[in-house]
Amino acid sequence: MVQRATGAAARALLAWVVILGLAAALGYLVSERNARTWSLVPEEGRLVVMKGLFLPLGRTQFKSTDPVVSKVYAPLVPPPAKALPEERSFSEQADLDRELFDLLAGWAREDIASADPARLERGLGYLERALELPALSASQRDTLTALRAESGYYEARRLIEKARAELSEATEKLRLTAGSRSSHALEAQALLTDLSAALDSATHAARTAGGAPAAEAVPPPPPEGRPSGASPGQ
């Protein structure tokens, strides 16, 4: 009788040990799966990348000690008036990367095509983040290459206009010096002659690229030894 009772107790204890072991294993597997889960969560006008905790439930905003990784997965701010997508979860980081790319590429494409300087700058920022995503598909890499080529054209237009504006400003300063009694007047006259052709070329390129207004014609430098505006008899 005693032996039977002891055997029953041992079997009951073994059953509980097995049950607890299975529960612990199940909890570990669920926690591991949750820890590998990524989410995109709209929050206060931003799209936040969340990472599951090593617990059956729970998640937190993803952060990394690597500054490049932190920048890539930092909260995303959409263009003004652009609605954020609904919350989504992903079992693999690659799936998250591809979803992020589609969002960034779409926003970048619209901003770059606008040719507006402020929007172009924002679009290039989206493009830079998309470039750092590690797990893109082959078709997405093709899209990225095409977007970079397209942005290169608009960046070049912006740089041409910037060069035209800076050359125009330099010309005005040289003209002022050349027409003065400065000790650098003669040097300014020589530089002004050289710069006139460069400004004409930059103005033509800016007008061709983006319809920029032509800069005022650059008058020739005053004859050596005579300030501009002085009469011949002076």
pTM, entire model: 0.65
Cα–Cα nearest to 185, from 149, 221, 216, 155: 221
57 with 116, same domain: the answer is yes
Query: Residue 112 sits in which domain range?
Result: 39-136
One digit per residue, pLDDT tens: the chain, 234 residues? 656 667 677 777 777 777 777 776 777 676 777 788 999 999 999 999 999 886 888 889 998 999 989 899 999 999 998 889 999 999 999 999 999 999 999 999 999 888 788 898 899 999 999 999 989 999 999 999 999 888 888 888 888 888 889 988 998 998 899 888 889 888 988 888 888 888 888 888 888 876 544 444 444 444 444 444 444 344
Determine, yes or no, domain membership for 15: no
In total, how many domains does the chain have?
2
CA angle 181, 170, 210 (to 5 degrees): 155
Determine, yes or no, domain membership for 189: yes
